[in-house]
Structure 1
Amino acid sequence: MLPRWIFCARRVVVRHDHVKPPRRLLSTSTTGTSFDLLSKTTRNIGIIAHIDAGKTTTTERMLYYSGYTRRIGNVDEGSTVTDFLPAERARGITIQSAAITFHWPPVNPDNPTPALPPSFDSIPRSSISHNVNLIDTPGHADFTFEVLRSLRVLDGAVCILDGVAGVEAQTEKVWTQAGHYQIPRIIFVNKLDRTGAAFSRTVKEIGTRLHGWPAVCQIPWWKDGNGDFVGVGDVIHLRGLLWQGSTDGSQIQAYDLNQLAATNNQFAEELKKARIALVELLSEHDDTMVEQFLEYDEDHLAIPGLQIIQSLRRVVLQTPQVVIPVFAGASFRNIGVQPLLDTVVDLLPSPLERPDPEISIGNETSTLNRLLSSDVPSGISTSTKPTKKKIDKGVFSPQDIRNLTACALAFKVVNDPKRGILVYVRVYSGTLDKGSILFNTNLSTTERAPRLLKMYANDAVEVDSLSSGQIGVISGLKHARTGDTLIVYKGLHMKGQPPGILKTLQLRPINVPPPVFFTSIEPNSRSEQKHVEESLGILLREDPSLHLSVDEESGQTHLAGMGDLHLEIARDRLINDLKAKARIGKIEIGYREAIKGSTAPSTYILDRPIANKPAKAAITVSITPKATQGDHNKSGTPSQESDLYEGSNYETAYALHDNNSLHISHAQLSKTSSSNHKDFLPPNLSLPGLLSAIHAGVSAALARGPFNGFPVFNSHISVTLDPLKHIFAHETTTTAMSMATREAVAKHLREAHEQTPSVLMEPVMRVTIFVNENSMGKVVQDLSSSRGGQVLSLDGEEESDSDSASASSSFSFLDALPAINPAQIYTPPDPFNSSAGASASGSGQSSQRQIVARVPLKEMVGYLNQLRALTGGRGTFVMSVDGFERMGTQRQRDALESLRMTDI
């Protein structure tokens, strides 16, 4: 059975310059069967890859063949749908992830809502039109957070590889990130039309570097066996697909195995070998395929294509995913995109097939479906007749759960110049209706959703509701941020809250990576200060991976980010888009400070008015450096979030940012049962409130070290809270306790620095560089001698350095998977090998090599220009924070001198 797009391909050839959003496939009503069918026929997918692998180009073809657009946009011309920001079109790269919705196969105008069969097992899923919510993500390492927050809400991903470059470093990174979220993935090997493309080598790299078994579902079709790339061999359905007769790729000729044997016997035989290898691989990981193999008398070619698809789907949905379907094409030449869309619908899961979303509620962890089915976490009580007193203690009834009508996660915030603030959400249960009252469980605020939108890149269509499994936009929210959980509770009013601990319900958050670069920002004049602050607030709400801080001594405002390009884009957006009149300093390195001295416990008393009201609080504090880390003169990657990691009935401990830790002893408050805590505290205070205030005060103090004002790294703070000595009736508030803790910790940091001078810690990057073989020696020499780097490996060789385990921590997910023997991976022969073919073609390039090194971040500023000079413009690299290391005396002296010159 041929796919419908082969017959309807000519329908999308009509060209118009306007964009027309597709009509909806099914009703979004939550009553009856239509809701289930909408979820079954929905795909939330992302396009992930290394920079310049062809993500946006592939997305553009998907939109064209689905009938969403009437012309094919071009990245070089700046005419693509998803790269709509001026900076994206000027630079030719994706900076901001873009969401878009279309249908595949295209909706039949004569039957826009076809009847679905009771089971998809009898037909290919791709024979029924599906609603595809697609997110095109950036490939540059500086925009890692854009990829992270997109992956958080996706159900599946298409990873695109450059057929010439193979599996690149950023590919490994995004593959690992998707694996942490247990997202099923398929691979599309792109750019096979380019000189030097090597499908076979790329497939083997998938096995060795992504630690999965490549299931070759398509093989390249080369003209006359060694000429241009003209089509693909469909291993699943045993046919050849030849793109010919039109420049837009809309005309495809299908040849069955017999026709191929008559005209191109060599290609037909290779297609049979690929089918045998595919069935053998699936049989090793899917018991049902073994039964099918035996049922068809052990004939690999006799198994129907539908059975192969179903087996592939089962192995793709396994956790962890060890079988990786691989497809072939050339998006720029419009080859292979339609079968890829079929694969998205056939193999990737619907929202109903994804794991139950994780939640936290009342300091317990559970899943959303368990909560909604009243199977609540252990430790959370339920009552059929809750009283007001019980609700205050966090007890809720099954009726409370039934009144929870919707739950969604805000994963992105955008300030649109025409539509205002747009909050992108993924609905995980129930339905969000237009005008619903939303409770933000992270901020404990209530807002109304005035408008709901379905986004089509930069265009939008207003809708009345967003049902479970859908991705959409709420416009007009004033407070919601990235990572906030939004719930709808029946009967909730604008000034109310959900009962009991339902107001603490939170979906799994989105972790923000730590920044490593910063720059100073100053308004041109005092009159511009308010506008600059408001503009910075918009920037930070849009992109939480940007951090803002104020230097108390100089009064300078510092903006920190993930990389120099990240900060450059933020600067352009601040000045050009938000029209802020400010001066931007040069980009600097975000160092850390490590104390070397310890202090004895001492009590600090704060006694002064706060906001014209009497305030008094005391706290006992001591500080010690973490000796185990300092002895090695090295530390691991800084923690990305504060986390409660241990506790008892008399103490609480936290893991803080930058490898710091906090231990709070509150024995006097815990000698009795929790119901009598208030016997030791005034009515305006509670133990959780005091612990939160102490935590905030310590974090604020550690944000500025005593040596040069950089955040403190690798220290342990011990705090003792004694209500009889540290709390003074109504004069003690949480604000007073937070300020007392901050000043006490700052005082101890200064004392520790005076005893033994603190040292600077510099960020060290794990750098993966791709160069041609003839440039490799020059690059290694530059890294080792000029930049003080340490080469860890060449071409994936074993790292001899004793610290290689810590150096490769960013790839620990891949390292935990079993190694794949490339000799056991089936690949079709390439018409030329990677090195000989490139040389014979006259490109003058040699084979590509990979260098992995650890280099101080300061030496990597502006490295791209130097790398291009050393490699004739062909070298590329990606890097990520590998840890912080203590600087040598001379490097520290040079860094401080550079900072002083900057201040002048």
Structure 2
Amino acid sequence: MRLALASLVRLCTARNAAAAPLSSSSSPSTSAVAAAALRAAPVCFSSIRALSTSAVASSADGAASFDLARVRNIGISAHIDSGKTTLTERILFYTGRIKEIHEVKGRDGVGATMDHMDLEREKGITIQSAATYTRWLDHNINIIDTPGHVDFTIEVERSLRVLDGAVLVLCGVGGVQSQTLTVDRQMKRYNVPAIAFVNKLDRPGANAFKICEQLRNKLRHNAAMLQVPIGAEENFTGVVDLIDNVALYNEGTFGETIRREAPPAALATVIAERRALLIEAVADVDDELGELFLNEVEPTADQLRAAVRRATISRKFTPVLCGTALKNKGVQMLLNSIVTYMPNPTEIKNYALDLNNNNEKVLVHPENLEKEPFLGLAFKLEEGRFGQLTYLRVYQGRIRRGEFIMNARDRKKIKVPRLVQMHANEMEEIQEAHAGQICAMFGVDCASGDTFTDGTTSLAMTSMFVPEPVISLAIRPERKDDLERFSKALGRFTKEDPTFRLSFDADSKETIISGMGELHLEVYLERMKREYNCPTISGKPKVAFRETITAPVNFDYLHKKQSGGSGQYGRVIGTIEPIGEEAGDANEFTNTMIGMNIAPAFVPAIERGFQEACDRGSLTGNRIVGIRFDLKDGQSHPVDSNELAFRLAARGAVRQAYANGSPILLEPIMKVEITIPEEHQGAVSGQVNRRKGMILDSEVSDGYCVLQTEVPLNNMFGYSTELRSATQGKGEFSMEYVRHAPVPMSTQLELVRAYEKERGGKKDE
């Protein structure tokens, strides 16, 4: 029945497309089209750059002109080298935020606006997320451009935590790649609705229809195209809007003018088919359009547009748009879609935790600016010219310069000295910020993830997900007199980046930094050299191995110490058992004790002792994970038992039982996606096998081969050089952490011997 109805809708759509009474016409004047767009429809078919420029100039007019319904907070996210920063540069140009277009890598000596760090312009990648704001069609749009490289995934994580919507940029050739999957998972984690933009359609091998199918098959999105490309590859000239049935062409030196005319007759069949697919996809998830669909009623453009908006905001549908940012095509249409289909802050449900009521979830109300107390989340820190710069998303109420706010974590009151709106590394002073806005504060000492209130509420925003580091490096300053700068730099980096960890190895007397990959740590070492004049010496990267047991072990451990006066006495009885890979880096403590042989007051001390014992395993000194400590019984002394005694008893029990639990070593396994010319597939497959990797899948398309592999991180060092050599510089790869898995026994024995030798040498010294 559904298939028959779908066929009928396609037939009706084809007739309507053929009968569309739309004539070719040149673009009308900017002011006339802008005014008409603001009055009548959410889609504008001409450049309104002049209007946007004047709007940006008055973007901080104050509360009188502030309308939450006209606010959009969006992020630009994608796999590395998909064109995120190039797209953002065009958005800023067309909205009048910048006067000239500059390219990534600074080929013109300037570089893209959002890549303001020297390292970003040299490497041609985004390292830090950058925020800006602009206006389009009388709407305020806050934009965060995020990195694509997996090493800087925390920047995407914390940006999506505070955004209401996102643009998922996909390469017209590469399509859904490894980091696309990661970004998609992050969007799902924070329930962020998305618009997909298929970029680089001017490149050889680009195919928007194929990318749309990948969204459906690989990411399981209910996706359908809102536009059909006109031409392909170097002949890509414009798009057909399927909702309004109009062809749109970018013209002018920088594509700043849009010409509209009737769709090409050669595309009539494709347009009819794709419009029918669009209606069917949205009707499946939207009741109002579904009713029209079942009644065989052709929806009007306004009905279809409203249904797409409802389905997109509820994350039941992903609209797909087309273009090429580098060649200045399709960006204004994307801006129109952001305004039309992305939610405003009142349409997204955000929750805070009531600290005085067992962390019960409380719905945040951004719409009542005057009635609701201020609530904001510090999601990013930077070292600015005037002290620490704290990026803040205001969720409720308003914050004013000179007012006092309270940190929900430590209950300290802080005066707001300065409020600014960020445009990359530039800033504009503002007097206040309202719910739904993203701003920044100067001179406020806090940590990333802190919640600020006006002191009248006990609410705190939920925290963001922080992935565990997978690689470590021993470092020291090159010059002895740089120790102060060395400490200052590390202190700043650990405060700014939750995935950059710092520790000190008491045995080796080394400073250890940990992060998400080689590039992640390399960037921080280079920043220490440039920003703090502190060159460093680093040792070989140390992989974050883990230890666990494979068999349950019973324990009965007595800690007893008597040295005159009150002593120490604590006995613990129970079981230590493995809990499987699904536990990740976590360990569990359970108390199944019956009776009062151990006073309940001592149980938390036993748990602390267990967790302390897990910090260092006996095989290689790495953390023990994936085990459960089940306390079943024990014994205490009326005089000599105390918290210290039971904490030491638990530590001793773990160490005693651990050796009998068949301990094994776990290593981080990385999902590695390798893109190479087809003729090099055999050589690269051999490289993966030599590095003890496993090829999971391979896909050949348009002369390129994409290998999906899993390789131990310990075997990936130096692979970029080897890959470039094998593919004449044409190959590229990306990797992300998947899980920890047991190492081969030969590797385990080798690592254990090396650890014992290192420990023995230190004992001899």
Q: Which category describes the TM-score, using the shorter chain as reference length?
A: 0.7 to 0.9
2:194 is aligned to: 185
2:311 is aligned to: 315
Q: 1:537 to 1:298 in 2, by over 3 A?
A: same
Q: 1:787 to 1:725 in 2, by over 3 A?
A: same
Matched position secondary structure for 1:626: strand
Task: Give 2:512's match in structure 1, choosing from 555, 558, 561.
Answer: 558
- Aligned partner of 1:266: which letter? A
State the 1:130 CA deviation: 0.8
Contact 1:21 1:456 in 2 (8 A): no
Contact 2:377 2:393 in 1 (8 A): yes
Higher deviation after alignment, 525-534 or 858-867:
525-534
List aligned pairs for 1:385-784, cutoff 5 A: 405-416=373-384, 418-478=385-445, 480-490=446-456, 502=458, 505-524=459-478, 528-580=482-534, 582-595=536-549, 598=553, 600-604=555-559, 620-621=571-572, 625-627=576-578, 629=580, 635-636=581-582, 638=584, 658-664=585-591, 698-718=610-630, 725=637, 737=643, 743-752=648-657, 758-784=663-689
For the pair 1:859 / 2:739, whether they are aligned, the reply is no
Matched position secondary structure for 1:316: helix
Contact 1:623 1:749 in 2 (8 A): no
State the 1:372 CA deviation: 11
Cα RMSD of the aligned pairs, angstroms, is: 3.7
For the pair 1:40 / 2:8, whether they are aligned, the reply is no
1:237 is aligned to: 244
2:221 is aligned to: 212
1:359 is aligned to: 353
Matched position secondary structure for 2:63: coil
For the pair 1:874 / 2:730, whether they are aligned, the reply is yes
- Aligned partner of 1:237: which letter? D
- Aligned partner of 2:421: which letter? K
Contact 1:435 1:450 in 2 (8 A): yes
Whole-Å Cα distance in 2 between the matches of residues 606 and 476 of structure 1?
52
Whole-Å Cα distance in 1 between the matches of residues 658 and 597 of structure 2?
34
State the 1:20 CA deviation: 11
State the 1:352 CA deviation: 0.1
Whole-Å Cα distance in 2 between the matches of residues 540 and 130 of structure 1?
37
TM-score normalised by length of structure 1: 0.72
Q: Percent of aligned pairs with the same residue? A: 31
State the 1:336 CA deviation: 0.5
Matched position secondary structure for 2:363: helix
2:692 is aligned to: 788
State the 1:53 CA deviation: 0.3
Whole-Å Cα distance in 2 between the matches of residues 421 and 133 of structure 1?
21
Whole-Å Cα distance in 2 between the matches of residues 372 and 186 of structure 1?
24
2:26 is aligned to: none
State the 1:147 CA deviation: 0.8
Whole-Å Cα distance in 2 between the matches of residues 433 and 692 of structure 1?
44
Contact 2:366 2:435 in 1 (8 A): no
Higher deviation after alignment, 543-552 or 276-285:
276-285
Whole-Å Cα distance in 2 between the matches of residues 740 and 571 of structure 1?
43
State the 1:881 CA deviation: 2.5
1:150 is aligned to: 159
State the 1:559 CA deviation: 0.8
Contact 2:597 2:633 in 1 (8 A): no
List aligned pairs for 1:819-838, cutoff 5 A: none
Q: 1:603 to 1:339 in 2, by over 3 A?
A: same
State the 1:405 CA deviation: 1.8
Whole-Å Cα distance in 1 between the matches of residues 363 and 52 of structure 2?
45
Higher deviation after alignment, 530-539 or 339-348:
530-539
Q: 1:358 to 1:607 in 2, by over 3 A?
A: farther
- Aligned partner of 1:866: which letter? E
State the 1:181 CA deviation: 1.3
State the 1:793 CA deviation: 3.2
- Aligned partner of 1:178: which letter? M
Matched position secondary structure for 1:850: strand
Whole-Å Cα distance in 2 between the matches of residues 762 and 718 of structure 1?
26
Contact 1:404 1:487 in 2 (8 A): no
State the 1:725 CA deviation: 4.5
2:88 is aligned to: 59
Whole-Å Cα distance in 2 between the matches of residues 532 and 792 of structure 1?
43
Matched position secondary structure for 1:489: coil
State the 1:794 CA deviation: 3.5
Whole-Å Cα distance in 1 between the matches of residues 51 and 709 of structure 2?
49
Matched position secondary structure for 2:720: helix
Q: 1:334 to 1:443 in 2, by over 3 A?
A: same
For the pair 1:287 / 2:254, whether they are aligned, the reply is no
Cα shift readout 1:261-319 (whole Å, capped 9, x = no counterpart): xxx42135543443333233333332322556699x8346xx2x33222111011122x
Q: 1:668 to 1:65 in 2, by over 3 A?
A: farther
- Aligned partner of 1:311: which letter? A
Whole-Å Cα distance in 2 between the matches of residues 423 and 723 of structure 1?
51
Q: 1:705 to 1:552 in 2, by over 3 A?
A: farther
1:298 is aligned to: 297
Give unmatched runs, 5+ long, in structure 2: 1-32, 39-43
- Aligned partner of 2:63: which letter? T
State the 1:81 CA deviation: 1.2
Whole-Å Cα distance in 1 between the matches of residues 574 and 494 of structure 2?
32
Task: Give 1:254's match in structure 2, choosing from 257, 260, 266.
Answer: 260
Contact 2:588 2:627 in 1 (8 A): yes
Q: 1:748 to 1:132 in 2, by over 3 A?
A: same
Q: 1:902 to 1:705 in 2, by over 3 A?
A: closer
Q: 1:486 to 1:628 in 2, by over 3 A?
A: closer
State the 1:146 CA deviation: 1.1
State the 1:210 CA deviation: 1.5
State the 1:141 CA deviation: 0.9
- Aligned partner of 2:130: which letter? A
Q: RCO (CA 8 Å, sep 6+): is it higher in 1 or 2?
A: 1
Cα shift readout 1:683-713 (whole Å, capped 9, x = no counterpart): xxxx6xx877665554444222233321112
Contact 1:637 1:882 in 2 (8 A): no
Q: 1:700 to 1:578 in 2, by over 3 A?
A: farther
State the 1:28 CA deviation: 3.1
TM-score normalised by length of structure 2: 0.84
Q: 1:439 to 1:725 in 2, by over 3 A?
A: farther
Whole-Å Cα distance in 2 between the matches of residues 742 and 878 of structure 1?
44
Q: 1:13 to 1:157 in 2, by over 3 A?
A: closer
Q: 1:740 to 1:247 in 2, by over 3 A?
A: farther
Cα shift readout 1:428-449 (whole Å, capped 9, x = no counterpart): 1111222333332234433332
Whole-Å Cα distance in 2 between the matches of residues 691 and 483 of structure 1?
31
Q: 1:279 to 1:525 in 2, by over 3 A?
A: closer
- Aligned partner of 1:208: which letter? N
Cα shift readout 1:525-549 (whole Å, capped 9, x = no counterpart): 6654444233212111100111222
State the 1:868 CA deviation: 3.1
1:100 is aligned to: 132
- Aligned partner of 1:331: which letter? A
Q: 1:723 to 1:543 in 2, by over 3 A?
A: farther
- Aligned partner of 2:308: which letter? L
